[in-house]
């Protein structure tokens, strides 16, 4: 199986690269990388679904807004992401939008939470589109 994401060294925080054949696939893998800093993503069943949409003035902002949704849902709904599905990215005049569904569990007490992601940053953010897509993100932990 192809690698979904890798972590790179960063003094104060966590830096990862997420990969995909399409932007959507790379975004979904970036969501898994972010969640994997907090809990074991593979152990989360798909009990609850959160459909949502975000917008961004460019792809970088779209990515940051998308990943921030994970923190928001965890802190306010105790929702633990297991997978990101049905991603659809659209580009219109001066704006990008993304619709997606997060699947996971909202029974926080059942899982070991071993890390905290405070914020998604623009620091060293990169979006590269060649034969496959590579996203690089630094998150504040």
Q: Contact with other proteins (CB under 8 A): which of 97, 121, 134, 136? A: 121
90 burial class (0-12, 13-18, 19+ CB within 10 angstroms)? exposed
Q: How far apart are CA 98 and CA 116, in angstroms?
A: 25
Q: Which is nearer to other proteins, 61 or 83 (CB)?
A: 61
Dump the DSSP string for 41-85: GGG----EEEEEEEEESSHHHHHHHHHHHHHHHHHHH--EEEEEE
Q: How far apart are CA 84 and CA 17, in angstroms?
A: 17
Interface with other proteins includes 107 (CB under 8 A)?
A: no
Contact region with other proteins (CB under 8 A), list: 20-28, 40-48, 67-75, 97-105: 67-75
CB 131 → other proteins: shortest distance, Å? 27
Interface with other proteins includes 14 (CB under 8 A)?
A: yes
Residue numbers 21-60 binding other proteins by CB under 8 A:
38, 57-58, 60
Interface with other proteins includes 75 (CB under 8 A)?
A: yes
């Amino acid at each position: 199986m192809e690698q979904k994401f890798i972590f790179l060294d960063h003094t104060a925080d966590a830096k990862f690269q997420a990969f995909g054949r399409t932007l959507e696939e790379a975004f979904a893998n970036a969501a898994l990388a972010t969640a994997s800093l907090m809990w074991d993503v593979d152990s989360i069943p798909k009990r609850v679904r959160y459909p949502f949409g975000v917008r961004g003035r460019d792809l970088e902002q779209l990515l940051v807004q998308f990943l921030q949704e994970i923190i928001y849902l965890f802190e306010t709904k105790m929702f633990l992401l297991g997978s990101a599905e049905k991603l659809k990215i659209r580009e219109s005049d001066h704006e990008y939008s993304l619709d997606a569904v997060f699947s996971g569990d909202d029974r926080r007490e059942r899982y070991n939470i071993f890390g905290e992601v405070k914020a998604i940053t623009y620091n060293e953010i990169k979006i590269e589109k060649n034969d496959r897509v590579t996203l690089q993100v630094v998150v504040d932990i």
